[in-house]
Amino acid sequence: MQPQLKSRVHCADREVGEVSKIIMDPLSHEVSHLVVSMNGTGERQVPMGAVQMVAEGLIQLQSSSSEVQGFPLFKRDDYVTLHEVEIPGLERHLHVTPGEVLVPFPELERNVKRRTFFANLTYVVGLFIGLPLVFPVLKFLMKPMYAPLDNGWLKIGNIEKVKTDDVGVQFEYKRKVKEAYLPEAEIEKNVWLVRATPPVLEKVYQGKDMEFRDAAGKTIWTNKKDLPYLAFSGKCPHLGCAYKWRKHKVLGQVFLCPCHLSIYDASGQVLDGPAPRPLDLLPIQVSPNGDVRIIDMEFKAGTKSQTRIV
C-alpha cells in the first residue's frame, strides 16, 4: 500500500506530524521519501527505509521522536512537481491520492545561466541549418518566374488578307516555344490587324511614333505613325481572353471580348466594359511584297499601365 497524503505519522513513542508531500524516484517509479510536517516546526524529509508500517491514514516510523529530529529538513527548491516535468508512465504507478507529488530537480538544470546559454546555442545552430537553405530554396522556386523576353520577328501572313478599312481581321499564326524541359512546342496564337484610316490612326498615335523598348530601356522598334496598319495583341487587356470582331446592337462593328464584355472600337479604344486600357499594339513591319511581320509580345492583363511580360 502506498502512503496517503495527510496520514498521521507516529514514531515509536508518540505522534510527530502528518505527511504533507510525497517524493517519488523518477527512474524506479517508487515512493522514495515522505515529507513530514512536524506539527508546526517545519518539514523534514524521511526516507522510506525508516518507515516500519504503512496503514490507512497512518504511517509508523521505526525511530523515536528524538531520532526523527536527525532527519534532514525539506528543501523545496531541490524538487519540482509533476506539473513541471514530463516523466513517462509515472502517473500510472501513482496510487497516492493526487496532491503534491514531487520528483528531484536535477542538479545540472538548476543553473539558469547554463540553461539559457544552451537554449540560445540551440537556436544559433538552428540558424546554421536554416539560414543557408533560405536563399537557394527561394531561387529554386523562383527559377521560371522572370524569363528573358524574346524580340524576334515572326511572319504571320500577307497584308492582302486585309481588304477593308477600319475592320478587324484575325491573323492566326504558330509560335515555337520551349518551356523548361519540355520538347519544343508550337502554340497557336492570333493577332488582329486593322488597316486604319487617318482619323483612326490619329486616335491611336496621337501625333507621335510609338516606341518599343527592351528591359534595359533601349529602343528595339518604332511603329511609324503614318503606317496605316495596326496590329493588336490577341489577348484582351482585362484578363487575357481572346476577343472577337462583332457587330454590336448599338455601337456598330467593334472588338468584343466574350469573357466580361469589354468592347473596343477599331482603334482599340475602350468603349464599354471592365477593360483598364486600350488594346495593346505590337511592333509591325509590312514588306514591299505584303508580308506582315510582328514581334510577339504579351502584356500583363488587368492593369492600367502596359507592362510587357513575354
- Minimum Å gap between C-beta 182 and other proteins is 6
In the complex with other proteins, the residue whose CB is nearer, 89 or 152, is 89
- Minimum Å gap between C-beta 288 and other proteins is 32
In the complex with other proteins, the residue whose CB is nearer, 210 or 242, is 242
- Minimum Å gap between C-beta 310 and other proteins is 6
In the complex with other proteins, the residue whose CB is nearer, 84 or 172, is 172
- DSSP structural state of residue 131: H
* DSSP-derived secondary structure for 203-257: HHHTTSPEEEE-TTS-EEEEE-TT--EEEEESB-TTT-PBPEEEEETTTEEEEE-
- Minimum Å gap between C-beta 36 and other proteins is 23
In the complex with other proteins, the residue whose CB is nearer, 97 or 111, is 97
In the complex with other proteins, the residue whose CB is nearer, 167 or 241, is 241
- Minimum Å gap between C-beta 162 and other proteins is 21
The residue assigned the cell 518551356 is 179
β-bridge pairing 252-256 and 270-272: unpaired
The percent of the chain in helix, strand and coil, each rounded to the nearest 5, is: 20, 35, 45
244-248 β-sheet, strand order = 244-248, 252-256, 263-264, 270-272
Distinct helix (H) and strand (E) counts, the chain: 3, 20
| Residue ranges binding other proteins (CB under 8 A) | 1, 89, 91-92, 95, 141-142, 144-147, 179-180, 182, 187-190, 234, 239-242, 258-261, 273-274, 276, 298, 300-304, 309-310
In the complex with other proteins, the residue whose CB is nearer, 136 or 144, is 144
C-beta neighbour count of 33 within 10 angstroms: 24
In the complex with other proteins, the residue whose CB is nearer, 13 or 91, is 91
**CB-hemisphere CA count at 13 Å for 129?**
5
- Minimum Å gap between C-beta 139 and other proteins is 12
Pair 236, 242: CB distance under 8 Å: yes
96 forms beta bridges with: none
- Minimum Å gap between C-beta 271 and other proteins is 13
**String of b and e for 209-231 (b: at least 16 CB within 10 Å)?**
ebebeeeeeeeebebebeeebbb
